[in-house]
Amino acid sequence: MSETKYLLEMIDISKSFPGVKALDKATLKVRPGSVHALMGENGAGKSTLMKCLFGIYMEDEGEIYLEGEKVRFANPKQALEHGVSMVHQELNQVMKRSVAENIMLGRYPQKMGLVDHKEMNEFTKKAFDTLGLDINPKTIVEKLSVSERQMVEIAKAVSYNAKVLILDEPTSSLTDREVEKLFEIINLLKSRGMGIVYISHKMEEILQISDDITVFRDGKWVGTAPASEMDTNKIVQMMVGRTLTNRFPPKENTPGEVIFEVKNLTGRYAPAIKDVSFELRAGEILGVAGLVGGGRTELLETIFGVAKKASGKMLLHGKEIANKDEKESIANGFSLLTEERRATGIFPVLDIRQNSTIASIENYRSGLLLSDKKIKESTKWVIDSMSVKTPSQRTLIKSLSGGNQQKVVIGRWLLTDPEVLLLDEPTRGIDVGAKYEIYQLILDLATKGKGVIIVSSELPELLGICDRIMVMSNYKVAGIENVSDIDQETIMHMAGKYL
């Protein structure tokens, strides 16, 4: 039996899939009452290790101890019953049902053979009270904000009397204020002796909330150290095996003449943008900042024709365009990388080839057939240029890590050779090394005269690669400034202008 100073021990865990060894004798030890950050590049094995713990995967070798007792969970239900809970990066919720129904999913209380809604709502209210949350158990989940949905999932996980809580990229869609609330809850759980495994690519966040940090690289354990002894440079060096001297590539693009104009653009269906006007120049990277719910995503969707416009004009090279739908937008030289990768980005049951080439499929026609040779060549370009970690082109995209899925989707849009590239949170859930590669690709496109509009919740990212930043507030433009004339504090003030 293992010593019990650790709440959780995962020792020499290995796991292979066809063509790839995802974990190679990986180890993780979590102390009670601590936040243990698990870090590594996309594909390093972080999520695979947690899925082995949670009973989604069966490890090929190695041992797992919980409070000194050896365990091996056959499924998530067993893990939950033993006090191991997991909040996934992509929230899996029944959107049309109430908060209480989601909290109690799979364990509805019954009275005389019927679901006891009164007990269910009371149980949910108590679960929220213990975390200091003010959410009505009867509210339908789709009416909640992303941060509220996140809190519901955490409350659900804790309600299983969790001893170990796994949080996978919990702040990827949260504002700074919402992150503070999440950290308050994490510290509360920590004070109760819970062990929290925290997966994130955000360095400042990791150093702020963690007690211990473990780094993986290529499925192997690289090292573990107290957070107090680590800094960003040390973590990056352990993650990528080299020193990353600069966070952003050098800017060599030179914005030229105006290629795209938006004049008084207003969306048709709420929530919708209101009277938005701006210009985009050839070779320019225009950042879009603002709070979650400020209209950033709606702006890109209206330009691309996913959301319908009520009024206003769009001009490309001085000629008015409609972009009535996605097909017309692609034909006009626009591409849109969506924020919700899983819901609107990937085709999970298709392989990498199909996911890479589906937006430009007409380019591969040879008579009535598709040219397998051309598709293979284009997919190879996506995999090589985006550094996608995959056993083969035929691997289903759902088998890849989240970050590698994101790389494939970005590669898909680059294959369309867009004139205007719309990017919504392009580096969400992506490690620091891969972020640098994506920044370089964006800057290369700008150097070639393309226009790029990028939405991001990470202000240092916008300040690091953009030429100008447009701030949205309550679906309106609060202002547009050159990067040299603006800072994070000013952006946040502008984001609250119309609230």
Residue 375: pLDDT above 80?
yes
pLDDT in the model for residue 351? 94
Place of tokens 């082995």: 52
Q: Supply the pTM of this predicted model.
A: 0.69
Walk me through the domains of the chain, giving residue ranges and CATH numbers: 8-240 (3.40.50.300), 258-495 (3.40.50.300)
Q: How confident is the model at residue 131 (pLDDT cuts 50, 70, 90)?
A: confident
For the chain, helix (H) and strand (E) counts, in that order, are: 16, 24
DSSP state of 392: -
Question: Which has more confidence, 293 or 489?
Answer: 489
pLDDT in the model for residue 3? 46
pLDDT in the model for residue 1? 39
Nearest to 398 by CA among 17, 64, 140: 17
Cα–Cα distances in Å, from 273 out to 17, 296, 309, 451? 45, 8, 9, 21
Question: Which has more confidence, 472 or 340?
Answer: 472
**Tokens linked to 315:** 């001009």
Tell me if 415 sits within 8 A of 354, measured CB to CB. no
pLDDT in the model for residue 243? 62
Alpha helices of 213-317 — where are they, by DSSP H?
A: 232-240, 296-304
Question: Which amino acid, 237?
Answer: Q
**Helix axes 146-158 and 176-191, enclosed angle (nearest 10):** 10
Containing H/E element for 129?
A: helix 117-131
pLDDT in the model for residue 4? 56
Region 19-35: mean pLDDT is: 92
Distance, in Å, from the CA atom of 365 to the CA atom of 344, rounded to the nearest integer, reads 25
* Burial of 429 (C-beta count, 10 Å sphere; 0-12/13-18/19+): buried
Tell me if 419 sits within 8 A of 451, measured CB to CB. yes
Instruction: Give backbone dihedrals phi and psi of 441, rounded to 5 degrees, phi first.
Output: -60, -45
Q: How confident is the model at residue 25 (pLDDT cuts 50, 70, 90)?
A: very high
- Reported for 50-57, long-range contacts at CB under 8 A and 24+ positions apart, including other chains, are 50/86, 50/166, 50/168, 50/197, 50/199, 52/10, 52/13, 52/15, 52/23, 53/8, 53/10, 53/79, 53/84, 53/164, 53/166, 54/79, 54/84, 54/86, 54/166, 55/79, 57/15
DSSP state of 214: E
Containing H/E element for 331?
A: helix 326-331
Region 259-275: mean pLDDT is: 94
pLDDT in the model for residue 278? 98
Residue 169: pLDDT above 60?
yes
Nearest to 100 by CA among 122, 81, 85: 122
Question: Which has more confidence, 269 or 213?
Answer: 213
